[in-house]
A and B are shown apart, each in its own frame.
Chain A
Amino acid sequence: GDSVTQMEGPVTLSEEAFLTINCTYTATGYPSLFWYVQYPGEGLQLLLKATKADDKGSNKGFEATYRKETTSFHLEKGSVQVSDSAVYFCALFSGGYNKLIFGAGTRLAVHP
C-alpha cells in the first residue's frame, strides 16, 4: 500500500543553521504531498503542500519540491530559529485509499 518514510529524529541544530528533513514516498499514481508541523502540546498545522510533479510548496521560509523521479519531498529551510522546534510530518493523500497517510514524524530541536 501507499506509505511515507521520513528520516528519524531528533534533528538538533543551532539557530541559523540549514535544515533538511528527508521524506520519500511509495504510492500508485501521483499523490498530493504535504508537510504538517506539530508544536509542543498542539495539533497539526499544514505547513506546505504540492499537488503535482515539480511543484514547490513554500511557507514561513520552509520549502519542499515534489520530485517524481526520486519519489521525494524533502523539507528545507535556510536558517532555522528556536521557534521552529517542533515535530514535522510528511504526508501523502492517497486517492486510491481516500485518506491522508503520514510518515513517522521528525522532531526538530533548535538551540540558541
Chain B
Amino acid sequence: DTAVSQTPKYLVTQMGNDKSIKCEQNLGHDTMYWYKQDSKKFLKIMFSYNNKELIINETVPNRFSPKSPDKAHLNLHINSLELGDSAVYFCASSQETLSGNYGYTFGSGTRLTVV
C-alpha cells in the first residue's frame, strides 16, 4: 500500500505547454505539501494545504496553481512551462498537529524535464 503516491513519475514536455502532477495520500493526514528539488538536490517548499485550504504559498510564480479537491488529494498544475521549471517535484503529507513529532511522509517524486 503506497502511502503518498504521485503520478506521473516522469514527465517530459516542451516549453510553453501546460501540465499537471497528481498526488494522493491514504494516511488520513489533514495537510499536504508540494516541494521542489532542484538539480543540486536543494529542497524548497512551494505550497501546503490543510483540509483543502491553502496555508503556505511561498514565492512561486503564479504559473503554478495547486488544487485540492479533498484532503486526500493535492494536484499541481503548471502553465506555460519554462526550462527553469525542470526539477523533481515531491508531494508530502502530515497530520498538522503532529508534524513536529513525526515530520512528513513523502511521495517518490515526479521528475519534470522541460525541453
Contacts and interface: CB of A to CB of B under 8 A. Distances in A.
Interface of A: 31-32, 34, 36, 38, 42-46, 49, 51, 87, 89, 91, 93, 95, 98-102, 104-105, 107
Interface residues of B, number: 25
Nearest to A106: B41
Contacts, number: 62
Interface of B: 4, 33, 40-45, 48, 55-56, 90, 92, 96, 99-109
Interface of A is mostly: strand
B55 to A, nearest CB: 7
Given A49-B103, A99-B56, A44 B90 contact: yes
Given A93-B100, A98-B55, A105 B106 contact: no
B99 A93 contact: yes
